[in-house]
C-alpha cells in the first residue's frame, strides 16, 4: 500500500491578488488535486499565477457531504490535495471543516498554510481591543438569533461578525437594541480591495451612516465587548419566540 498523501488547507486572497503567498502558489502547483468552492472563481486565480496540471474539482457546501469520503480515500492512496475557497482561509465560514475532520480522524496529515482571512485585518484596524476576541461568523437568520444576541450582550471580549451588505442595517439595528446604541463598533468593507473602507463609531452612529449610504461589498462587523463599568440594562432583553 502506498504512503498516504497530505491535505493542504490553502488560503487565497480576500481582495488583492498580491496577498497570495509564495508557498501557497508552490503547493497549488504541486498538488495532484485542487478542491475549489467555485471552479470558475478559482480558475481566474490559478491562471493569474500560471498554476496548471493538477485536477480541479468542485467542493462546496452543497456537495461536501457526498465528496468527503472519496477525497479522503484518494489522499490515503497517496494523493496530495489542496483545498481552497473563493477567498480567505477554507473552514472559516467556508467549506473545509468536514474534510479536515475526516482526514484527521483517518490519520492523514493536515497542513494549514498561514494566509489571508478577513476577520484579522478587520479587528486590528478597528481600534478596538484585539488581545482577546471571539469570532461569531454569520448570525443565525431565524431560530436562535435573538437568544444568541442576548447571550452576547454580556460578552466582555471584542466580537467579530460576517454580514452581507443587504442585511447589515437590520443587524446593526438589532445589535443596538441588544447591546445598547453606545457600544463601539467598526464596519470593515472590501478588505484588501480598491475601495476598502472602515466606518468606526458607536452602533448608533454607524447605523445612521449606513442608513444614509447603501452598504456594498464584503462586510466584517467588529463590536466592542461589555466593559466592566458599562450599564447592563440590555442584558437578557432578547428572547426567541416560542
CATH, residue 95: 3.40.1010.10
Q: Does residue 242 belong to any structural domain of this protein? A: no
How many CB atoms within 10 Å of residue 90? Answer: 26
Query: Do 150 and 210 reside in the same domain of the chain?
Result: yes
Residues 103 and 139 in one domain: no
> What proportion of the chain, given as a percentage, has pLDDT over 90?
84
Residue 148: is its pLDDT beyond 90?
yes
**Same domain for 187 and 105:** no
Residue 44 grid cell: 481566474
Q: Identify any residues that bridge with 162 across adjacent strands, giving them in sequence order.
A: 138, 220
Residue 185 · residue 125 · CB < 8 Å: no
State percent of the chain over pLDDT 70: 93
Give the end of a domain, one of 87, 112, 137.
112
CB 164 within 8 Å of CB 187: no
Across the range 220-241, mean pLDDT stands at 69
Mean pLDDT of the chain: 92
For the chain, the domain total comes to 2
Give the residue numbers spanning the domain of 53. Answer: 6-112
Task: Please check whether residue 229 lies inside any domain of the structure.
Answer: no
Residue 241 in domain: no
Kindly tell me if the per-residue pLDDT of 125 is higher than 80.
yes
Domain boundary among 97, 112, 127: 112
CATH number at residue 185: 3.30.950.10
Asked whether residue 108 falls in the same domain as residue 201, the answer is no
16 and 102 housed in the same domain: yes
70 vs 57: CA distance, rounded Å: 12
Task: Classify residue 230: in a domain, yes or no.
Answer: no
- Whether residue 167 sits in one domain with residue 97: no
Q: Is residue 233 part of a domain?
A: no
Amino acid at each position: 500500500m502506498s504512503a498516504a498523501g497530505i491535505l493542504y488547507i490553502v488560503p487565497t486572497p480576500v481582495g488583492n491578488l498580491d496577498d497570495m503567498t509564495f508557498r501557497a502558489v508552490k503547493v497549488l502547483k504541486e498538488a495532484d488535486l485542487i478542491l475549489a468552492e467555485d471552479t470558475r472563481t478559482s480558475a481566474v486565480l490559478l491562471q493569474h499565477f500560471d498554476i496548471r496540471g493538477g485536477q480541479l474539482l468542485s467542493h462546496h457546501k452543497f456537495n461536501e457531504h457526498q465528496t468527503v469520503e472519496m477525497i479522503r480515500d484518494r489522499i490515503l492512496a497517496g494523493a496530495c490535495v489542496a483545498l481552497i475557497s473563493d477567498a480567505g482561509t477554507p473552514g472559516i465560514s467556508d467549506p473545509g471543516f468536514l474534510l479536515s475532520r475526516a482526514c484527521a480522524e483517518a490519520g492523514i496529515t493536515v497542513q494549514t498554510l498561514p494566509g489571508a482571512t478577513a476577520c484579522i485585518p478587520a479587528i486590528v484596524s478597528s481600534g478596538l481591543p484585539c488581545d482577546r476576541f471571539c469570532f461569531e461568523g454569520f448570525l443565525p437568520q431565524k431560530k436562535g438569533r435573538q437568544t444568541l444576541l442576548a447571550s452576547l450582550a454580556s460578552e466582555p471580549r471584542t466580537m467579530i461578525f460576517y454580514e452581507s451588505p443587504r442585511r447589515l442595517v437590520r443587524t446593526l439595528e438589532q445589535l443596538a437594541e441588544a447591546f445598547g446604541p453606545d457600544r463601539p463598533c467598526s464596519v470593515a468593507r472590501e478588505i484588501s480591495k480598491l475601495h476598502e473602507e472602515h466606518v468606526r463609531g458607536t452602533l448608533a452612529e454607524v447605523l445612521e451612516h449606513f442608513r444614509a449610504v447603501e452598504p456594498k461589498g464584503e462586510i466584517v462587523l467588529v463590536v466592542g465587548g461589555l466593559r466592566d463599568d458599562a450599564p447592563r440594562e440590555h442584558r437578557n432583553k432578547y428572547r426567541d419566540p416560542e
